[in-house]
Amino acid sequence: MLEKNNERKKEKMIGFYNYSVILTYIGLISSVFGITQVFENHMSIAFLCLLLSGICDLFDGKIARSMKNRTEHEKVFGIQIDSLCDLVCFGVFPAVIGYHYDSVYPLRLIASIMIVLGAVIRLGYFNVMEEERQRNTTENRKEYQGLPVTTVSMILPLLFMGQHNIPKDIFPFVFHGFMILISILFVLRINVKKLSMKGVLILFTIGAIILIGYLKMQHII
């Protein structure tokens, strides 16, 4: 352990660079690119990027845990970097998307603020509890408190794809209403069972269906 830390000090760049964080970084890159697409008014691409970030987040933890020789610093770094990236992907990015939809000014502003605030509180609380849990046990987590922030990457793209069934002038209000509801569920003290691999695969399948639906909607396939 000491030898590994000494080797770390000799490196020219701070941080930890191994396969355990690759998907986390890919998800972040997808979201940052998606934010630029909102500014360019390419909303289909933006929602696709949000979905891809969610798919990356579904698997990044499992990939990180597959690396058995991680140091304590690498484990803590993984927790922190995952939450920081999640804040951008599932807090800031949805807020930018939500602000794009023009309902009434106070509503879209409130929805955007609430989803970022809810995400940062949820993620900060998770970090504190997760570090404590890992000090006390080596067992995998079985449930979460509060709705996981990743769920926004499935809910909002589904809303986007279903907007044709909602009157055009009503859709922004529905979208912002869902954002406010999601932000409340982020911090509500409810127990949410952690998905098994089967559950992850089901969500991945849903994501794939959404992706195929998007490609068909754009006449790409």
Q: For residue range 56-90, what is the model confidence (pLDDT) as tens digits?
A: 998 887 777 777 777 778 877 888 899 999 999 99
Question: For position 32, which CATH number holds?
Answer: 1.20.120
Q: How many domains does the chain have?
A: 1
144 three-state secondary structure: strand
Q: Tell me how far CA of residue 198 lies from CA of 126, 161, 216, in angstroms.
A: 23, 25, 27
Mean pLDDT of the chain: 85
Higher-scoring residue by pLDDT: 198, 163: 163
Confidence band of 149 (pLDDT split at 50, 70, 90): very high
| Domain range for 102 | 2-217
Q: Is the pLDDT of residue 11 over 90?
A: no
Q: Tell me how far CA of residue 184 lies from CA of 5, 77, 124, 130, 149, in angstroms.
A: 41, 28, 15, 21, 11
Residue 140: per-residue pLDDT: 67
Q: What is the pTM of this model?
A: 0.85
* 192 DSSP β-pair partners: 144
